[in-house]
Amino acid sequence: MGHVLGDAKIIMLKFENITFTYKGEENPVLKNLSFCVEDKSFVSIIGASGSGKTTIFRLLNSLEKPDSGNISIDGKNIENLKNYASYMPQQDLLFPWRTVEKNVMLPMQIQKKTKQEQVRIAGEILEKVGLYEYSKKYPRELSGGMRQRVSFARTLCQGADIMLLDEPFSALDSITRINLREWLREQWENLDRTILFITHDVEEAIYLSEKILVLTGNPVDDIIEIKVPLPKKRDRNMLEEPDIRDLKEKLIELLRSEAKE
């Protein structure tokens, strides 16, 4: 579901005039920042290191409170919501004492779903991410890429319509990264969910997203929105097309100039 605005676009997430300063710091990280994410879209946020990408997620997850401004999901202020977003952290953060299945069941266990329901949903989702046969394995028995897929399955089990993915592939080797990038895009096509994805990798952002939000300013006070001119069905070769290469160069230049500021 989503919140319909005047221009008839369905908005899932709205970040309105947010200013935020970390405790004990003088200067804000974000200043009067606003942006929207449309329902069922795949949107990436990119920005130079330390630009405030993760801060945006911390605010969205209510781990921090903004100094001023409003964050709403599906038209409702997040202050009054519970379980409104599914979050996938940078590291997999799987619990080593739990099997793959039990890790995936964790959010549902916290939501106090029945045991049968937990097992059924976890089974379905593990099947979907191609890890059903690893249900009874422990995280230490899996490769880095598989662990991230388990982490993604766990995020799906949280069940919210919007998923917040915080640089989930940053710790992986380049081949696994490329494989998982393609895998994630396929997952999203079949999922019917909104994904907000943080990355510092320009190519990853282009390949995955419909729209890219580039954080600008120090403190971040504006966002440049860039629509990715790629069709829904994508493959890696499309990244070599001239207009996509131009877009990549443009984004890199933009990030470089931001980093210098």
CB atoms within 10 A of CB 36: 20
The distance of closest approach from Cβ of residue 167 to other proteins in the complex, given in angstroms and rounded to an integer, is: 13
Q: How crowded is the C-beta side of 253, counted as CA atoms within 13 Å?
A: 6
Residue of 50, 75, 95, 189 interacting with other proteins (CB under 8 A): 95
255: left (phi over 0), alpha (psi -120 to 50) or beta: alpha
Residue of 97, 174, 190, 231 interacting with other proteins (CB under 8 A): 97
Is 150 an interacting residue with respect to other proteins (CB under 8 A)? no
Is 144 an interacting residue with respect to other proteins (CB under 8 A)? no
Nearer to other proteins, 158 or 216 (CB): 158
CB 154 within 8 A of CB 107: yes
Is 61 an interacting residue with respect to other proteins (CB under 8 A)? yes
Is 17 an interacting residue with respect to other proteins (CB under 8 A)? no
Q: Classify strands 68-73 and 42-46 as parallel, antiparallel or unpaired.
A: unpaired
Q: How far apart are alpha carbons 37 and 136 in whole angstroms?
A: 37
CB 57 within 8 A of CB 94: no
**Binding mask of the shown chain, residues 22 to 41, with x at each position contacting other proteins by CB under 8 A:** --------------------
CB 163 within 8 A of CB 157: no
Residue of 138, 171, 239, 244 interacting with other proteins (CB under 8 A): 138
Residue of 10, 16, 69, 106 interacting with other proteins (CB under 8 A): 106
> Where does this chain bind other proteins (CB under 8 A)?
61-63, 82-83, 85, 87, 89, 91, 93, 95-97, 106-107, 109-111, 138-140, 158
